[in-house]
Amino acid sequence: MPHATDPPRLTDQEAIERLKALDRPWADDYLAMYSSWWQGIITDPWLMTVPLDDHLVHRGDGVFEVSKCLGGRIYQFQRHLDRLAGSAQAVHLELPETLERIRDIALAVVAAGGEPDCMVRIYCSRGPGGFTTNPFECPRPGLYVQVGRLHPPAPEAYERGVTLGVSQVPVKSGFFASVKCCNYLPNVLLKREAVINGWDFALGLDESGGLAEGSTENFGLVDHQGNLRLPPPGNILEGTTARRAVELAQEMVADGQLAGVQRRRLSIQDLESAAEVMLFGTTLDVLPATRLDQRPIGDGQVGPVARELLARMRRDIRDNHAMSTPALA
């Protein structure tokens, strides 16, 4: 006997109507999505769902990439696709399509979204197949590509610099840090700690007490000898932005604007005594940090290296078409 307080049983039509009527203001930013589930592109946000029995949903069993499209060109897209392939291989996930096909699908979703500036999110999942942890119960991997509006930090953040804190949350290390898989719970807790403490971003420590990275961003610092220093690969995700920043920083070394670029273990003391600190990420480009909790970093102002590196990266995005996909017609 059903009880009066039981949720109602809905017809298909009623369920669809309720889904369409849900209040999801954040979904106004969702422009288009492809799903291997229905093998096509849709633009209505209420349809942008994934099956609950895809192991991506209930086990975080999938890999992903987020890239940025500006003026109809996706910056560093080949590097994002190569990292996607590397992540998939690392977790023994067969890619649902060839990289070339994934690229073409992504470009088609961007075109369907109709906005030349957008974020492109690609998820390759173990696929629907039941509710255990057994990856072999999923007959086919899934592919979801979603395009949405950009939300970069406000211009003032680049002028004033942001606030950092050092987190107590244990971060992913080694293998799990280096794979961009859909299990981001440590990153979520890191971000939560930043918000709770009133920091703009939090940096995590690896097991040996070395500074690793932020929730979804890498970091680097400039020491008083004028070297840009980033943590070594090993306990971080190698960011496409940090990688490009290192390449651009090498050009600054050649131009006499930096003494050197180093990848080496960085401690909290290195952070506290740095002349400059900056964050690297697809959404951010190069974002200067000028306070560590309440204390100023260096002189508390945005430094010359962060300023120059940001300018070089913005020029790279705008003018260096070899680093981006061809502009969409």
Q: How far is the CB of 65 from ligand PLP (least distance, A)?
A: 8
Task: Give me the phi and psi of 209, to 5 degrees please.
Answer: 85, 10
Q: Indicate which residue of 20, 68, 172, 180 is catalytic.
A: 180
Tell which residue, 250, 230, 252, has the closest CA to residue 308: 252
Residue closer to ligand PLP, measured from CB, 83 or 126: 83
Helix (H) or strand (E) holding 189: helix 185-197
Residue closer to ligand PLP, measured from CB, 242 or 278: 242
Residue closer to ligand PLP, measured from CB, 50 or 177: 177
Q: How far is the CB of 179 from ligand PLP (least distance, A)?
A: 10
Residue closer to ligand PLP, measured from CB, 67 or 125: 67
Residue closer to ligand PLP, measured from CB, 210 or 281: 281
Q: How far is the CB of 13 from ligand PLP (least distance, A)?
A: 40
Q: At what angle do helices 240-254 and 77-90 cross, to 10 degrees?
A: 130
Pairing of strands 142-148, 118-125: antiparallel
Rg over CA atoms, the chain: 21
Tell which residue, 41, 45, 12, has the closest CA to residue 106: 41
Task: Give me the phi and psi of 287, to 5 degrees please.
Answer: -115, 115
**Token output for 34:** 């492809």
Taking CA 194 as the corner, what is the angle to CA 192 and CA 200, rounded to the nearest 5 degrees? 130
Q: At what angle do helices 77-90 and 99-113 cross, to 10 degrees?
A: 130
Q: How far is the CB of 250 from ligand PLP (least distance, A)?
A: 17
Q: Is 180 a catalytic residue?
A: yes
Which residue number has the CB closest to ligand PLP? 239
In angstroms, the CA 178 to CA 80 distance is 14
Residue ranges binding ligand PLP (CB under 6 A): 66, 187, 213, 216-218, 237, 239-242, 280-282
Q: How far is the CB of 101 from ligand PLP (least distance, A)?
A: 22
What are the catalytic residues? 180
